[in-house]
Amino acid sequence: MTDQNIQKANRRTITRLFIVAGIMFGFGYALVPLYDLICDVTGLNGKTGRTTIEQSVSAQSSKQGEVQREVTVEFTTHASSGLPWEFRPLRNKMKVKLGVPTVAMFYAKNTSVESITGQAIPSVSPGRAAPYFKKTECFCFSQQTLKAGEAKEMPVQFIINPRLSSEVDTITLAYSFFNANKDSAKKYGGTPGEEPANHNAHAHHANHGGGHDHKL
């Protein structure tokens, strides 16, 4: 082989090496956002959070073209006879896009002359919609204490999975507020047999299914 042929062969080899190096660099660069995405979804390396999950659901829905579908969400409330509170939604209903995080506000006021602690228990109907209705933040996750005459607005943030049946166009989110103290509830005329507002009752309803109403 002549020197000229050897030089040509060397140049071809060098060119190929540069091409391979460029491809490897590009692949490595692409792995960074891919790794971040995997961590966001799976929680690896501590990279997880409610906001990130919500954005992921919304982005996925957008790609599927389903996020434009809307359903009506209605809100109903009830304060037990043993809980001297005014309790109502600030809006009775709203249009909600599937896959998009939505916030609804509720108003509660203690009309008694002493501090009272209550526990809200939610339910979703129709029952077949309940598995697709996910709350990410809710005042029902913990007991709420209001001082005498105190009032406050309480948020609930939720997402409706785009996989919800197309036959469902209206969902009702209902809340029942109970006095967390049995003696206090009795003092304010609580009806015997009314469901106590404690975590055991809440957990019981979280596992209850069937019928027209699904507690969660």
Mean pLDDT (whole number) for 137-156: 97
Per-domain residue ranges of the chain: 3-48, 70-215
Q: How far apart are CA 108 and CA 87, in angstroms?
A: 4
Query: Under CATH, which number does the domain 70-215 receive?
Result: 2.60.370.10
Mean pLDDT (whole number) for 20-26: 58
* pLDDT above 60: residue 89: yes
Positive or negative: CA dihedral 43, 48, 49, 51 = negative
Q: How confident is the model at residue 68 (pLDDT cuts 50, 70, 90)?
A: confident
Residue indicated by tokens 């008694």: 112
Radius of gyration of the chain (CA): 28
Q: pTM score > 0.85 for this model? A: no
* pLDDT above 60: residue 13: yes
Of 59-63, 170-174, 204-208, the least confident:
204-208
What pLDDT shows up at residue 22? 61
* pLDDT above 90: residue 190: no
- Check: CB of residue 99 under 8 Å from CB of residue 197: no
